[in-house]
Amino acid sequence: MKAMFNRSGLHVQIAVVLLISVTLTATSIHCGSRLGFNLFTDEDDVHLGEQLDQEIRENPEEFPILQTHPHVREYVERIAEDILQSQHIRKRDVYPYEFEIIHDDETINAFAAPGGYIYVYTGLMHFLDNEAALAGVIGHEIAHAERRHATRRISAYYGTQILLAVVLGQNPGVVEQIAANLFTGLGFLANSRSDEREADTYSMRYLQDTDYYPGAIRYFFDKILEEQQRGSGAVERLLSTHPLPQDRVAHVEETAEKENFPEPTEENLFIERYQEFKKTLP
């Protein structure tokens, strides 16, 4: 009787796991990114971010952290701190929100790891023309962290495997394994169009609670499109992880009109202040 009970129990367990797995897979495919399906907790996001931050710091050839000119990091942190005070920020007391500068003037980029670990390239700062545009990009990366885009995509990709491992008790360290496998190429940070659009939306919402022109990310888009027409390789690398279809530009324009954004001026773009800052970049 004991043997029959164990076999029956195992069959039931397998059936339940398969049923949940099929449901999970369907959910991941149909509503994973759109509805925010996520197998990870906020604490998992922070743990993944810590792991990736460590990997980044241990790879100075690929990610040369700026060791001199501390005022550059302070400048970015000051902008970020203004944005993080927005009423739309939900995880300022959950995520550590760490900002680091990567000294690479050839790369026009910024990216966010889970849990609020955000990296800004000096190439991006050289590329931009006003402080509000930089604030728009930083707000965009904060939105990727706040909206948990990375772990939502990981959940959609690994969902069934994670669930099977957890239910069967085969791999209690699955989060650590995923963190260890994510670093190579940081490919998981390639954002979908819907993720990018959502991050644009929240960037504008955040900036509405600051002194910056809320639609300033548009200035970043305009420069990208200009450089793309010139065939810039740096811009093409950026577009591989941050797609910029025309509807993103239109979305910013429509939002600016709908929300009745103020006119962009020196008082909310901070062009002169930013140009002075650029002169101090390494």
DSSP labels for 182-198?
Answer: H-GGGGGG---HHHHHH
Question: pLDDT band at residue 8, thresholds of 50, 70 and 90?
Answer: very low
First to last CA, the chain: 76
Query: Residue 216's closest CA among 248, 244, 256?
Result: 256
Question: pLDDT band at residue 85, thresholds of 50, 70 and 90?
Answer: very high
Distance, in Å, from the CA atom of 159 to the CA atom of 122, rounded to the nearest integer, reads 36
Q: Identity (one letter) of the amino acid at 240?
A: S
Distance, in Å, from the CA atom of 53 to the CA atom of 55, rounded to the nearest integer, reads 5
pLDDT at 55: 87
In a domain, 10, yes or no: no
Query: Residue 45's closest CA among 91, 100, 101?
Result: 91
Residue 4 reports pLDDT greater than 90:
no
Domain with 213 in it: 42-157+171-278
Distance, in Å, from the CA atom of 18 to the CA atom of 129, rounded to the nearest integer, reads 54
pLDDT at 239: 77
Query: Residue 213's closest CA among 271, 263, 251?
Result: 263
Distance, in Å, from the CA atom of 65 to the CA atom of 111, rounded to the nearest integer, reads 14
Pairing mode, if any, of strands 98-102 and 110-113?
A: unpaired
Distance, in Å, from the CA atom of 45 to the CA atom of 271, rounded to the nearest integer, reads 35
Distance, in Å, from the CA atom of 130 to the CA atom of 106, rounded to the nearest integer, reads 19
What is residue 95's DSSP assignment?
S
In a domain, 11, yes or no: no
pLDDT at 154: 81
Give Cα 219 to chain centroid, integer Å: 20
68 φ, ψ (degrees, to nearest 5) = -105, -175
Mean pLDDT of 266-282: 98
Altogether, the residues listed in the chain come to a count of 282
Query: Residue 56's closest CA among 5, 114, 133?
Result: 114
Mean pLDDT of 70-81: 98
pLDDT in tens, 221-252: 999 988 888 877 777 777 776 777 678 899 99
* Token representation of residue 55: 């990997």
10 Å CB burial of residue 237 (0-12, 13-18, 19+) is middle
Question: pLDDT band at residue 27, thresholds of 50, 70 and 90?
Answer: very low
In a domain, 19, yes or no: no
pLDDT at 44: 87
In angstroms, what is the C-alpha Rg of the chain?
Answer: 21
pLDDT in tens, 165-213: 654 455 556 666 666 666 654 555 567 888 999 999 999 999 999 999 9
pLDDT in tens, 130-171: 999 999 999 999 999 999 998 888 887 776 666 556 544 555
In a domain, 1, yes or no: no
In a domain, 130, yes or no: yes
In a domain, 102, yes or no: yes
- How large a percentage of the chain has pLDDT more than 90? 58
Distance, in Å, from the CA atom of 27 to the CA atom of 152, rounded to the nearest integer, reads 12
In a domain, 258, yes or no: yes
Distance, in Å, from the CA atom of 49 to the CA atom of 100, rounded to the nearest integer, reads 13
Task: Tally the domains of the chain.
Answer: 1
In a domain, 143, yes or no: yes
pLDDT at 103: 98
State the residue for tokens 């085969």: 170
Residue 99 reports pLDDT greater than 90:
yes
What is residue 98's DSSP assignment?
E
